[in-house]
């Protein structure tokens, strides 16, 4: 079941019960010369990795998936690819995916008005009712021919949320959804294809970012962003067309942030 939709979506899939880290598998495949267009999916990881060197808890039954792609795109555009994944994931979780034959439909109204249960937290967490439901880890691998392989790792708390995180976390089970990791993967891989197709042409990039903004958590609200030992405080204004977080500080200066940890409500 894990495989059918991914193949239908035109990608190959290597599915595992338990693996160290699907991102590690994908990076290894890139180094071994895989042409890209390959998903790795597992029900459990023993060495799951999160953003900024943190571990990612991957208990059995949650979804761990990584996509290896080698995009035929200018390197400067690659920075926005994580947003394609975030929007695809939010779409997959929030609504049924047209044509996918997969009906997660957990919150059909969410995408339409941006006020729904699911929201994207910069750069690419999915929040449900303000608690973290899913995360994305983007990694790149330089290839001998000068191109860059991109690995998009996606972890979704399907059956269990990690305990002891410094932020609130939740799972689809806690939200009352009786879906499996296979269901989520099927919807995700279908939604990815649609969003990636949008991203590939120039207008699509802006369109994907516009969709991201329409699902953004905390727009217009106070944020504190932790960046390499400093904390930037202000109002979360938007993300720009390169996917940078734009914060307006107390002096009305516009600060563009490429990497950091966002905390809402803290001023
Ligand atoms: C984060 O929010 O810190 C990102 C979490 C990303 C976790 C996923 S699970 C699949 C893939 N393999 C990994 O080792 N990490 C990513």
pLDDT digits (tens, 9 = 90+) for 10-41: 799 999 999 999 999 999 999 999 999 999 99
Q: Tell me the whole-structure pTM to 2 decimals.
A: 0.91
Per-residue pLDDT at 25: 98
Residue ranges of domains in the chain, CATH in brackets: 4-214 (3.30.930.10), 222-264 (2.30.30.100)
Ligand 1 atom nearest residue 51's Cα: 3
> How far, in Å, is the centroid of ligand 1 from the Cα of 252?
35
Low pLDDT (below 70) residues in the chain: 1-8, 95-117, 202, 266-267
Confidence at residue 116, expressed as pLDDT on a 0 to 100 scale: 57
pLDDT for residue 111: 39
Closest Cα to atom 15, ligand 1: which residue? 49
Return the sign of the alpha-carbon dihedral for residues 117, 159, 133, 82: negative
Nearest by Cα to 72 from 145, 169, 161, 156: 145
Q: What is the ipTM of this complex?
A: 0.99
Whether 120 contacts 214, CB under 8 Å: no
Closest ligand 1 atom, residue 135 Cα:
2
- Taking the CA of residue 54 as reference, the ligand 1 atom at the shortest distance is 3
* Model pLDDT, residue 3: 59
Q: Does ligand 1 lie within 6 Å of residue 162's CB atom?
A: no
Cβ of 86 below 6 Å from ligand 1: no
Report the chain's terminal Cα–Cα distance, integer Å: 47
- Can you give the pLDDT at residue 100? 44
Which atom of ligand 1 lies at the shortest distance from residue 23's CA?
A: 12
Q: Whose CA is nearest to atom 2 of ligand 1?
A: 135
The torsion of the CA quartet 150, 151, 152, 155, rounded to 10 degrees, works out to -170
Q: CA 226 to CA 242: how far, in whole Å? A: 20
Cα 52 to ligand 1 centroid, rounded to whole Å: 11
């Amino acid at each position: 079941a894990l495989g059918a939709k991914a193949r239908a979506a035109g990608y190959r899939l290597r599915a595992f019960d338990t693996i160290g880290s699907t991102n590690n598998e994908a990076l290894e495949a890139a180094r071994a010369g895989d042409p890209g267009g390959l998903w790795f999916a597992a029900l459990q990881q023993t060495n799951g990795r999160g953003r900024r060197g943190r571990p990612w808890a991957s208990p059995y039954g949650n979804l761990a998936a990584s996509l290896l792609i080698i995009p035929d795109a200018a390197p400067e555009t690659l920075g926005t690819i994580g947003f394609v994944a975030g929007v695809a994931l939010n779409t997959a979780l929030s609504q049924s995916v047209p044509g996918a034959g997969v009906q997660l439909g957990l919150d059909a109204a969410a995408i339409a008005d941006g006020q729904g249960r699911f929201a994207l937290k910069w750069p690419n967490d999915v929040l449900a009712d303000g608690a973290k439901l899913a995360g994305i880890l983007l990694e790149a691998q330089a290839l001998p021919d000068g191109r860059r392989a991109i690995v998009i790792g996606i972890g979704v708390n399907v059956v269990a949320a990690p305990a002891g995180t410094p932020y609130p976390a939740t799972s689809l089970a806690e939200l009352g959804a009786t879906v499996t990791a296979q269901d989520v993967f099927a919807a995700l891989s279908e939604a990815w294809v649609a969003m990636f197709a949008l991203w590939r042409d120039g207008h699509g990039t802006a369109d994907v970012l516009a969709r991201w903004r329409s699902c953004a958590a905390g727009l217009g609200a106070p944020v504190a962003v932790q960046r390499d030992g400093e904390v930037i405080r202000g109002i979360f204004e938007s993300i720009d067309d390169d996917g940078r977080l734009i914060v307006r500080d107390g002096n009305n200066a516009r600060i563009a942030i490429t990497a950091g940890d966002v905390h809402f409500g803290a001023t």
